[in-house]
């Protein structure tokens, strides 16, 4: 079995895991929890720490919602910024995670952006945070970065926060490692199940790379089990 996989191979592995009964919602829970664990290991005491989690509308963003739920329970002051309206959230598992954090009205502040509510209106939340979680784009990125994502990435990079990227630094091509416009420059990237090929040799964007197993069975990689 390969130790390094492409985004397409990762998708096949996730689909196979789902066929085996390991539902995407379980993988999202484990992924988000592993992000929270990494932050806990680094900081130990999260009481009143300001953590800004910037999320896209795909499952990478869903991992960010789950991380926020866990981190708020440790007393962190959590802000979640969704780069889009909430009706743009793509998958059932991400929508479920979103509903959970929506209900955490005392411990999590939520900002869903649209044309009128631009990211620059809340730039201080990103720039002044002690910890920033980049959950904008993962293996599902396609084509040129859209302006909202590009602007959010620029604000993340201008922050002196400790930065953690979920699976892939947003803006980095997960297959080629090329940065077409701009990419997050993270202190650490927690990538799921296996190293992704585009992360190799891209320390400037990835920082330290940690591979976190999220409960995908190794059988999901074995072709002969079809
Ligand atoms: N499924 C699983 O089993 C599993 C397990 C563990 C973790 N994950 C997480 O899920 C991630 C993959 O989720 P995903 O397939 O939903 O993809 P994604 O990486 O979340 O990206 C897809 C989202 O990004 C938007 N997008 C795509 N290209 C863009 C661009 N160039 N500029 C701005 N926005 C863009 C898409 O919008 P449009 O649809 O409008 O184009 C969509 O909302 C992984 O990286 C990992 O973090 C998944």
CB of 136 within 6 A of ligand 1: the answer is: no
H or E element in which residue 206 lies: helix 203-206
Residue-level pLDDT at 95: 98
Helical H segments across 79-176, by residue range: 92-102, 123-127, 147-158
Q: What is the pLDDT of residue 20?
A: 96
Helices (H), 4-144: 7-19, 24-43, 59-73, 92-102, 123-127
CA angle 156, 24, 86 (to 5 degrees): 50
Nearest CA to ligand 1 atom 17: 140
Q: Which of 53, 100, 103, 102 is nearest to 76 (CA)?
A: 53
Look at residues 57, 77, 201 and name the one whose alpha carbon lies nearest to residue 140. 57
- What is the per-residue pLDDT across 54-63, written as a single tens digit (0 to 9) for each? 999 999 999 9
Is the per-residue pLDDT at 225 higher than 70? Answer: no
How confident is the model over 104-114, as a mean pLDDT? 95
213 lines ligand 1 (CB under 6 A): no
Residue 226 has pLDDT above 80, yes or no: no
**CA 76 vs CA 8, 121, 129: distances in Å:** 35, 23, 11
pLDDT band at 1 (very low <50, low <70, confident <90, very high): confident
Band of pLDDT at residue 154, cut at 50, 70 and 90 = very high
Structural domains present in the chain: 4-220 (3.40.50.10260)
- Residue 118 confidence (pLDDT): 84
**Does the structure show a pLDDT above 70 at 53?**
yes
pLDDT at 120: 86
Residues 158, 189 contacting (CB under 8 angstroms): no
Question: In the predicted model, is pLDDT for residue 2 greater than 90?
Answer: no
pLDDT at residue 223 greater than cutoff 90: no
The percentage of residues in the chain with a pLDDT greater than 70, rounded to a whole number, is 97
Angle at 33 between CA 141 and CA 92, to 5 degrees: 55
Distance between CA atoms of residues 204 and 22, nearest Å: 34
Q: Tell me: the pLDDT tens digits for 161-214?
A: 999 999 999 999 999 999 989 999 999 999 999 999 999 999 999 999 999 999
Q: Please choose from 10, 30, 56, 181 the residue to mutate so as to test ligand 1's pocket, defined by most ligand atoms within 8 A of CB.
A: 56
Average predicted confidence (pLDDT) for the chain: 95
pLDDT digits (tens, 9 = 90+) for 111-137: 999 866 688 889 999 999 999 999 999
CB atoms within 10 A of CB 176: 11
Ligand 1 pocket residue status of 90, Cβ below 6 Å: yes
């Amino acid at each position: 079995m390969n130790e390094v996989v492409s985004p397409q191979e990762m998708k096949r592995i996730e689909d196979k895991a789902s066929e085996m009964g390991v539902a995407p919602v379980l993988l999202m829970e484990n992924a988000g929890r592993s992000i929270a664990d990494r932050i806990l290991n680094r900081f130990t005491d999260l009481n009143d720490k300001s953590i800004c989690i910037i999320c896209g509308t795909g499952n990478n963003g869903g991992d960010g919602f789950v991380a926020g739920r866990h981190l708020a329970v440790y007393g962190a002051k959590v802000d979640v910024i969704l780069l889009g309206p909430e009706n743009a959230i793509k998958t059932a598992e991400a929508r479920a995670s979103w509903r959970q954090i929506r209900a955490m009205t005392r411990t999590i502040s939520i900002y869903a952006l649209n044309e009128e509510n631009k990211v620059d209106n809340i730039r201080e939340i990103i720039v002044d945070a002690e910890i920033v979680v980049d959950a904008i784009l993962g293996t599902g990125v396609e084509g040129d970065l859209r302006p909202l994502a590009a602007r959010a990435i620029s604000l993340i990079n201008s922050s002196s926060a400790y930065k953690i990227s979920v699976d892939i630094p947003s803006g980095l091509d997960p297959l080629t490692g090329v940065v077409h416009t701009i990419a997050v420059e993270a202190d650490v990237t927690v990538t799921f199940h296996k190293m992704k090929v585009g992360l190799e040799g891209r320390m400037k964007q990835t920082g330290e790379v940690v591979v976190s197993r999220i409960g995908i069975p190794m059988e999901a990689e074995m072709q002969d089990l079809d």
